Structure 1
Amino acid sequence: MDAVLSKIAKGVTICYSEVFPNLDNDYLHLNYLGKLFLFADSYCMNPDCTCQEVVLNFLQTYPRENEKNNNFIVRFKLNGRGYKIHDQGRFNRSEIKAIIMRITVDDSYVKLFNERYTEMKEKAIKIIS
């Protein structure tokens, strides 16, 4: 947990699976137009921060079209109303928008992200105490 504490102090987002490792759900999955994406969710663990965001790192795993730039990263608002692209890799903005819309078509991912955000903040308070 020293690495997590160091990242909290630096204000770096931390992957949910780093704090709550579970081989069955380290990565989330998304099928989109015949493409398979794995994606990881990272959160700010500073208990004083009220950013209400999750950083999502998507990696296209099938088909493997290009070994480089096969991923993109977005910062997604936990109310489900907006995102910012941080690295679009080889993906164009409209494709990223469609993928984000796919994960928000129902509220299951947004609910999951909110639950995990709360878990991460609670864990941070325990680590710091």
Structure 2
Amino acid sequence: MLLRDALGDLLRRARLARGLTLRQLSDAAAVSVAYLSELERGRKEASSEILAAVCAVLDLSLAEVFHDVGDAIETAELLESSGREAVVLDLRPRIPADVRADLAHERTDAVSAPMPGSTSLASDVSVRSAA
């Protein structure tokens, strides 16, 4: 797992948990929608300035972000070294229909938000033997 993949996933989850669209977050953080979308999909690496701006809007500390991203990478590495793979569990509450409708134009495949108060990616992982 690459750093940019874990970071992008965390940023997307945090944005969705707060009910923000890409447009709303990009306007508030002064980052283009296209660039923010690339960050969330793990296709671009954020500069420290952009990451700080996005985290400020999402009310996340950089320490919290790096901790959770580190946990996700550590879990993926441990699973990979043991011949197992990570499986994301969908145990979180669903996004309300009105929020989902607002997100539909973003063509996102994420349809759930983390449990309130939880931003950890590693907590959504279980283990199964690789086939």
Scaled by the length of structure 1, what TM-score is found?
A: 0.32
> TM-score scaled to structure 2, two decimals?
0.31
Question: Which has more helix, going by share of residues?
Answer: 2
Higher strand share: 1
